[in-house]
Homo-oligomer: A and B are copies of this chain.
């Protein structure tokens, strides 16, 4: 199973991009032993439309095109459930056992994610009740994916 992060907006060169890349690489390296073939990021171009609803719909259309058949879709949204790191790892294990070709994690832009994407989601995931900037959400998600890989492979990074 491949992990794909579909994120609206381009992360500029700088500390956010550096941290995101560090955790992406660690997740990919550690994930191989857990049957995860890749951890990739696809950046979706931000829509330039004035209307927020239309913007989200345009971005959603581009995101949907990036989702492979039979992939499980996970939407990052503060209205979602709020799992422990162990539960994130359990989800990944279950999807792999279902022979899902990919788990696609969707990070919306400034306006959030369109309802059509939340309806496709097998899981809506929140990092607590707080609001986070989407650049930070990308880093937080990649850290949780790396942590999940260490839980699945018994690597000592995660301690309870």
Contacts and interface: CB of A to CB of B under 8 A. Distances in A.
Interface of A: 14-16, 18-19, 22, 82-85, 87-88, 110, 126-133, 136, 139-140, 143-144, 147, 158-160
A119 to B, nearest CB: 22
Contacts of A133: 143
19 contacts: A14-B18, A15-B16, A15-B18, A16-B19, A19-B19, A82-B128, A82-B129, A82-B130, A84-B129, A110-B159, A126-B128, A127-B128, A127-B130, A128-B128, A130-B147, A131-B160, A136-B139, A136-B140, A140-B140
Given A130-B127, A158-B131, A143 B136 contact: yes
Contact of A131 (B85, B128, B129, B132): B85
Nearest to A78: B84
Nearest to A88: B130
Contacts of A143: 132-133, 136
B127 A83 contact: no
Contacts of A136: 139-140, 143
Nearest to A131: B85
Nearest to A83: B129
Contacts of A84: 129-131
Nearest to A112: B159
A129 B80 CA distance: 12
A83 B130 contact: yes
